[in-house]
Amino acid sequence: SAGGFFKDSVMQKFTASFLGRDCPGVVASVSRILEESGCNIEEVTQTILSGEFAAIFVVAAPETDAENLRVKLSAGLEASKVDLSVLVRPAIKGQWVQNLHCEPFVVTADGPDKPGLIAAMSRVFARHDVNIESLKAILGEGGTNRALFVFEVMVPDSVDLGRLRRELTCEGQSRDLRVSVQHRDIFEAVNRVNS
């Protein structure tokens, strides 16, 4: 039977990204549409930023083509009157860190909000093969025209941590920012104590 064919067929992995106006029930709508499209959700991350909903789902699907799946998901969203844009790509096999041993660090930079900070800090990370896993910018932290930037990064063991700290501090000082680099375990322990 056709049902048996799909049940036994090889599922393909895709990354489906959704972006649009946030509203109550948006996650329920997206997950229902994925289910109705035959997708099994394997991983998901979701956030709200300035009223915009953004989510990335890694799914296993019976579709063999990313564009076909995107069209199917878009039609489901339109039928449900959910205003989201969809991008579907074949899932990447393995993560960049698979051949590297890395340690998690949290880098914070706080001070005056000036253009170019994220680009400058990102260039330092890129020079040292440090991967940014999460980035949060909190404007107004500590007063008007001030900001707090929190980078969660993976630092390969081969990186000279002292040099990385010095370069990040130098970039920060040139922009009147205070920069802190802490192992994630220490950062979390300190913040638990201060909470």
Tens-digit pLDDT profile for residues 136-172: 988 876 667 888 999 999 999 999 999 999 999 999 9
Average pLDDT, the chain: 86
Reported as a single tens digit per residue, the pLDDT across 52-90 is 999 999 999 988 899 999 999 999 999 989 999 999 999
Threshold 0.85, pTM exceeds: no
Residue 95 pLDDT greater than 70, yes or no: no
Residue 95 class from Cβ within 10 Å (0-12 exposed, 13-18 middle, 19+ buried)?
Answer: exposed
User: Which residues does 77 contact at the CB level (< 8 Å), separation at least 6?
Assistant: 29, 30, 33, 83, 84, 86
